Amino acid sequence: GDAHLGTLTSREFTLERDWITLLVGGGAHPQGTGVELLVDGEVAYALTGRNENRLRPVSIPVHAWAGQKARLRIVDRISGGWGNVGVDSIVFSDRPRVEPLEQRGDIGTLALAALGTAREVEPVLPRGELEDMSTDEAAGVVRRLVLAPGASGTALFVLAWHFPNPWRDSLAMLTGIEKKKRHYAVRFADAAAVLAHVAERAEELAARTRLWRDTWYDSTLPHWFLERTFANNSTLATSTCQRFDDGRFHGWEGVYCCAGTCTHVWQYAQGPARLFPALERDQRERVDFGLAFDADSGRIDHRAEAARELAVDGQAGTILRAYREHTMSADDAFLRRIWPRVKKALELLLARDPDQDGILDGAQYNTLDTTWWGKIAWTSSLYLAALRAGEAMAGELGDTDFGARCRSVRERGAAQMVSELFNGEYFVHEVDPAHPESNSTGDGCHIDQVFGQSWAHQVALGRILPEAETRAALRALWKYSFAPDIGPYRTYMQDRLAGGRWYALPGEAGLLMCTWPKGGEQSAVGQGQDSWAVGYFNECMSGFEYQVAAHMLAEGLVSEGLAITRAIHERYSPARRNPWNEVECGDHYARAMASHGVYLAACGFEIHGPQGHLGFAPKLTPEDFRGAFVGPQGWGSYAQKIEATGKLTAALELRHGTLRLVTLRIGHAGPTRARGVQLRVGTRALAGELESEQHAVLVRLAEALTLSAGETLVLECQV
C-alpha cells in the first residue's frame, strides 16, 4: 500500500557485465520510489516507475563501473499517492532488455492517401525512394485539380493507422491480454488495407455519417443541449475503450485508468447501450454474467478478472443494465440465455437484506471506493430498482413466484425508505454506530440518494419510490447542492470537510456530491484508513450530475435539469477545457456518458424491442417536438405536433435499418380523451386501436409493422 515506507538493499556484488536489466513499476517520485544503484556507497544511477503498476522493462548501463563493488537498493520514501514500487526479474546481462518489437503497444503502420484517379493523385518522395529518406526529409501526396474560373473542387485526403497491439494494463492484468490484438487487426492487415477499404467505400461511409449527423441535429431541442448530451459518446473512440480480436469489449474508467469495465462506474453510462446495443449485450453476457460471475454466490466481480470483489451499487446497476439490454434487443433470446444468472445475482442482493424489508444491510462497497455501512438511501434505491427489473424479467419469462417475491420486497422497501430515511426534505444515510471507520453522508443531501428511481425512468419501469418524496429530494438537491459559483462553498468547507479535486473551479457552477444543510458533515469522515475518500463529497463530477439532471427532466423539473446540464456545458466550453473530454479519475471518463441519458429523458424515450414498443413523452415543447431515436436494429427521427384544435400528428421516420412496431405511446401536456386515430405508411392505411392514458395516448396496431429505411409511419388523432 501507499502508506508503507522502507528500503530493501541487496548483498554486495561485483559489476562484471555491461547491463543490469529489470522490470519496474510504481510511483514516479525521483529519490522517493524506485531503484538505486550504489557504487562505493554512493548513488550512481537511479530510476523510478511511471505512476502505473504495469512492470516495464528497463536497462541500467554499468560498463563504466566494470570491476567495482555495487549494491542495488529498492526505495519507498513516499507515503502519499503512488507511494509504492514494484520490481522483478533482475538480470546481469551483456545486452539491454528489449521488449519484442511485435509485442509492443506502439508497433504499427501509418499511411496517407489522396483519393482520386492516377492522373489526379501522385506521391511526392525525396529522391524518388521512400527507403532512402533521412530524418529531415518529408514525403507526401498531391491531389491535382484543374478548375475553370468560378468553379470549385474537393480534395479528399485520408490518414489511416493500424496499431494491432492494445496497450498493456496498468493495473491488474486481464487474463491473456498480452496475447490479444485490437479488433480491427482481424479485419485489416495494415494501414494500407485500411486505406483500400476507405477508398472503396468512401461515399457510402461519408453518406451514412452525414445522415446520422443530420438526423441528430434536426431537432427542436437546443443546439447546445444536443452537443453536450452526445459529445461524450466520443469516449468510445478513445483509449478509454478497447475491443479485442475475440470481439470482447473492455473499458477503463478513464484513459488507462482503473481496469475492468467496472460495474459501478459504467452503470452510469447510458450512451453506449443506446447507440450500440449489440456491444453492451456482449459485455453483459460474456463478461458481467460470464467470466466475472461467481455461479455459487451470484456475485458479479466489479472489475471482471481485474478485481474479484463485490460492489453493491454496481451489482444492482448491472441487473438493471441486463434489463435495458433486453429492451434494446429485437427478441427475447438474450434474456433467456442470461436470466438464470441475473436471477442468481438478484438473490445475492436479497440475501444481503435478511429481514426482507427492502433496505440493504451489512458492508456496502461502492463507486466512492470504500465500504459503507448502515441504511443507505442511495444503494437501497438501486436495490429496489434492480428488484423492479427482476420482477419485469421474471414476468416476461413466466417465473411468477420469483417475480412476486421481488415485488413484495420492493413495495416494503419503498415504504421503509420513506418511514426510516426521509427527513421531510430528502433521503439520508442512517449510520451504523458499530462501524465508525466507515465513510457516510449521514444527514447530508447526497447526489445519488434516489438514483434507483432515476434508473427506473431510464428503462421505463415506472415508480419505485413515491412521487412526492422523490420530487422533494430532487428539489432539495437543487436548493442545497447546486452552486452557481462553486468557489465560496469550497472555501467554506476547507475548515469543515477538506479535500476534493477541482473539476469545477471558482466562478463555475456545478452540482456538489453532498452538502450538509442541517450540519453533521464531520460524521462523514471515517475514523480509519478510508477517511481519505471524503474529499469526493466536495467535488462536481459530471457523470453523477447528469444522472440527476436526467432524473429531474423525467420528474418534470425541467428548468433545473437543463440548468445542471448547461452548467457542465459551460465548464467544458472550448475557452475553459476540452469539450470532448470530461474528466473524473482519468481523461475521457466513462461515467460522463451518462449525458446521453439526459437526452433520453428530454425525449421521454421508452422502448421494448421484443414487445415491439416505442414511446416518446417530450419534456420540452411537446406541442412541437422533433428528435432522433435509436432502436434495436435501426434509427431515425420522431416528430409530433399538437394544434390548438387538439389535433395530434406524429411521424416516425426510419432512416437506417429496420424497426418492428406493435405499440406506440405518445405523451403530451394535458389529460386526454383521445379518439379517431388514423395510421398510414406512405399511401397505405393501417388499422389500430387508441387508448387514452394520463398525459398520453397509446396506439396499438392491429398487426405488427416492420418499417424499413426510408419509410415513415404517420399518426393522426384528436386529443
| Of 314, 373, 422, 368, nearest in space to 537 by CA | 368
Q: 313 phi and psi, to 5 degrees?
A: -65, -40
CA distance 416 to 630: 37
Confidence of residue 174 (pLDDT cuts 50, 70, 90): low
Q: Distance (Å, rounded) from C-alpha 482 to C-alpha 479?
A: 7
* Ordered alpha helix ranges (H), 218-270: 223-231, 263-266
Given a cut of 90, whether residue 180 has pLDDT beyond it is no
Tell me what the pLDDT averaged over the chain comes to: 93
Cβ-count burial of 709 within 10 angstroms (0-12 exposed, 13-18 middle, 19+ buried)?
middle
Model-level pTM?
A: 0.90
Calpha distance 377→483 (Å, rounded): 23
Residue 547: pLDDT band (50, 70, 90) is: very high
pLDDT for 299-311, tens place per residue?
999 999 888 899 9
Residue 435, pLDDT above cutoff 70: yes
pLDDT single digits (tens) 437-452 = 889 999 999 999 999 9
pLDDT in tens, 120-150: 888 887 765 555 556 666 788 999 999 999 9
Q: Which of 535, 548, 544, 552 shows the shortest CA–CA distance to 589?
A: 544
How do residues 455-475 score in pLDDT, each as one tens digit? 999 999 999 999 999 999 999
Task: Count Cβ neighbours within 10 Å for each residue of 140-173 and write b for 16 or more, e otherwise.
Answer: ebebeeeeeeeeeeeeeebebebbbbbbbbbbbb
Cα 331 from Cα 612, distance rounded (Å) = 9
Please give the pLDDT value at position 256. 86
DSSP H or E segment with residue 278:
helix 277-282
* Grid coordinates belonging to 399: 417465473
How deeply is 505 buried, as exposed, middle or buried, from its count of CB atoms within 10 A (0-12, 13-18, 19+)?
A: middle
Using 50, 70 and 90 to split pLDDT, how confident is the model at 170?
very low
Mean predicted confidence (pLDDT) in 374-393: 98
Helix 451-458, helix 595-603: angle, nearest 10: 60
Query: Of 674, 694, 650, 590, which Cα lies nearest the Cα of 234?
Result: 590
| 175 pLDDT above the threshold of 60 | no
Q: Which three cell numbers stand for residue 299?
A: 456475485
Q: pLDDT (tens digit, 9 = 90+) per residue, 269-296?
A: 999 999 999 999 999 999 999 999 999 9
Q: Per-residue pLDDT tens for 315-331? A: 999 999 999 999 999 99
- Banded pLDDT at 2 (limits 50, 70, 90): confident
Average of per-residue pLDDT across 74-98: 93
pLDDT at 473: 98
pLDDT on residue 341: 98
Cell of 172: 491488474
**Confidence (pLDDT) at 172:** 42
- How many CA atoms are closer than 13 Å to the CA of 253, on its beta-carbon side? 20
Residues β-bridged to residue 372: 364
Residue 20: its pLDDT value, please? Answer: 96
Lowest mean pLDDT among 99-103, 144-148, 236-240, 516-520: 99-103
Q: Report residue 257's pLDDT band, with 50, 70 and 90 as the boundaries.
A: confident
Tell me, what's the pLDDT at 34?
95
Residue 237, class by beta-carbon neighbours within 10 Å (0-12 exposed, 13-18 middle, 19+ buried)? exposed
- % of the chain at pLDDT higher than 90: 83
Please name the residue that has the C-alpha cell 478510508: 530
Predicted confidence at residue 670, as pLDDT, reads: 64
Bigger pLDDT: 136 vs 18: 18
